[in-house]
Amino acid sequence: MSKPILKGITIYYAKTAVFTIASYGLLRLVYGHTGISFIEWTLTLLAAFTVGYIPVFVGLLRGKSS
């Protein structure tokens, strides 16, 4: 993998981490006790963001190949 692709992936997952922490904090603030642990919330969002990122990642690879 080249550096621009690796940098893009790193930035994407850094944004995902910030969103995960902020959204869990907001859930706790608004609803008080949540029925989901922070680890479960993190794994759920990580899976969702990974599936959502696949088309972007494929586009980066295709753009790099051509």
Q: What contacts 24+ positions apart, CB below 8 Å, involve 39-44?
A: none
The first and second tokens of residue 12, run together, are 């994407």
The model carries a pTM of 0.73
Res 66: pLDDT: 43
CB 32 within 8 A of CB 39: no
pLDDT at site 64:
62
Yes or no: say if 15 and 46 are a contact pair by the CB < 8 Å rule: no
pLDDT, tens digit, for every residue of 27-47? 999 998 888 999 999 999 999
Domain ranges, ordered by start, for the chain: 3-65
- Retrieve residue 31's tokens: 């609803």
Looking at residue 48, its pLDDT comes to 92
The whole-number pLDDT of residue 24 equals 94
- CA–CA dist 62, 45 (Å, integer): 26
